[in-house]
Amino acid sequence: MIDLFSDTKTRPTAAMRQAMANAEVGDERAGEDPTVNRLVARCAELLGKEAALYLPSGTMCNEIALAVHCRPGEEVLCDVTAHILGFEGGGPGALAGVMIQPITGTRGIFGAAALKEKLRPDRPYAPRQRLVTVEQTANLGGGAIWPLAALREVADTAHAAGLATHMDGARLFNACVASGIEPADYARGFDSVWIDFAKGLGAPGGAVLAGTRDFIAEAQRWQFRLGGAMRQSGIIAAACAYALDHHVARLAEDHAHARRLAAGIAELAGLRIDVTGVETNLVYFDVIAPGWDAAKLCAALAARGVRMGPMGPRTVRAVTHLDVDRAGIDTALAALREVLGG
């Protein structure tokens, strides 16, 4: 199976499993797991923040960040395609009790002007606005990279209006590898930021949320409240540390594979793609062949051992990662040609 459904489909490599087996562990909940402690210190440094917290998932990082930054009834501004809006089980409403005001950006990215348009006057009848969030890279924006200038402008506008800022860095390293910009530079101006180890970095789980010492202290209370405090989690944290050492620079290969896939798709008459939009490891394209739609195409591909994800009636997403090599990309392209030609 060539599984391009998501970069979460990676399995730990033999070397990563070895690092996990050798991990020094303790009771994380009591602050006694040395592998977790080293990982969070390293991530805080990488992200340019005072402190960091190890959590089971990126979703929990987002949900805790919303809950720490906001009180119930307050409003969060984010792009209309944001993960917190459509993919976290309604957590922002159920856990933080916040309202969300979506901003219609371009490929998941919006500017200071679009943000300013959504700022509300401070009136007793209006929800109090509290937080602006961005995704680096923008997942439903096609893996688009927020330019540094756009991030600065949005963060400055938010802070000037008295709002806090949060960065969902599920694929922050993809942006860093593609642009050559350091994680701390992207995260500057953001009061909280997190990175995911279970996406392209190839670990079996885990994410690290970073911010000020005070923010992280509050986040830790939410970690306990949600049952996200673990015990000998150094076993998984060791996989994350291994990923930081060995799986960051190689994301460039995933990006090259994504471009190769996009170029092949561009040659197929029944598909439509903007190849210039493929900046990282996410490849979105539309099915325009008569009689076909995204679901039907994905089913036909699956029958040939290639998995992609339908993301809309005509839109398909393919994600490159550690477990798909160049030959796998060529197999996927051959399957697309066969399916649409036949």
d(CA 323, CA 14): 12
Residue 98 CB neighbour total at 10 angstroms? 23
**Judged by CB under 6 A, which of 9, 32, 37, 57 binds ligand PLP?**
57
Question: How many Å apart are CA 36 and CA 25, to the nearest integer?
Answer: 8
Write the CB contacts of 209 (distance below 8 Å, at least 6 apart in sequence): 52, 53, 55, 61, 64, 65, 192, 193, 194, 216, 219
Among 55-63, 180-188, 266-274, 295-303, the segment contacting ligand PLP (CB under 6 A): 55-63
Q: Provide, rounded to whole angstroms, the least separation between the CB of residue 191 and ligand PLP.
A: 17
Intra-chain end-to-end CA distance of the chain, in Å: 21
For residues 58 and 328, which CB has a smaller minimum distance to ligand PLP in the complex? 58
Task: Tally helices (H) and strands (E) across the chain.
Answer: 14, 13
**Contact window for ligand PLP (CB under 6 A) among 57-65, 145-153, 212-220, 317-325:** 57-65
CB closer to ligand PLP, 75 vs 196:
196
Distance between CA atoms of residues 134 and 319, nearest Å: 21
Interface stretch with ligand PLP, choices 173-181, 195-203, 233-241, 262-270 (CB under 6 A)? 195-203
297 in contact with ligand PLP (CB under 6 A): no
Q: How far is the CB of 56 from ligand PLP (least distance, A)?
A: 8
Environment class of residue 118 by beta-carbon count within 10 Å: exposed (0-12), middle (13-18) or buried (19+)? middle
Query: Which residues from 163-192 bind ligand PLP, rule CB under 6 A?
Result: 168, 170
Considering only the stretches 142-150, 194-202, 214-222, 305-313, report the one whose residues sit in contact with ligand PLP under the rule CB under 6 A.
194-202
Amino acid letter, 197: F
With binding defined as CB under 6 A, does residue 59 bind ligand PLP?
yes
In the complex with ligand PLP, which residue's Cβ is closer, 139 or 165?
139
CB nearer to ligand PLP: give 33 or 79: 79
Please pick, from the candidates 198, 219, 230, 235, the single residue that binds ligand PLP as defined by CB under 6 A. Answer: 198
Query: Tokens for 95?
Result: 């856990």
CA–CA distances in Å: residue 319 to residues 22, 308, 309, 314: 31, 8, 9, 17
User: Quick one: 59 or 232, whose CB is closer to ligand PLP?
Assistant: 59
Closest CA to 109 of 80, 131, 74: 80
C-alpha pair distances (Å), 134 with each of 51, 155, 289: 20, 10, 34
- At its nearest, how many Å lie between ligand PLP and the CB of residue 81? 9
Site string for ligand PLP, 126-165 (x = CB under 6 A): ---------x---x--------------------------
In the complex, least distance from residue 62 CB atom to ligand PLP, rounded to whole angstroms: 6
Site for ligand PLP in 204-223 (CB under 6 A): 207
Q: Taking CB under 6 A as the criterion, which residues in 63-92 touch ligand PLP?
A: 83
Task: Return d(Cα 73, Cα 98) in angstroms, integer.
Answer: 5
DSSP 206-230: -EEEEE-HHHHHHHHHHHHHTT---
CB of 200 to ligand PLP, least distance (A): 10
Q: Given candidates 3, 63, 196, 254, which one binds ligand PLP under the rule CB under 6 A? A: 196
54, 28 in Cβ contact below 8 A? Answer: yes
- Name which of 40 and 335 has its Cβ closer to ligand PLP: 40
The residue nearest ligand PLP at its CB is: 58
Binding site for ligand PLP (CB under 6 A): 57-59, 62, 83, 135, 139, 168, 170, 196, 198-199, 207
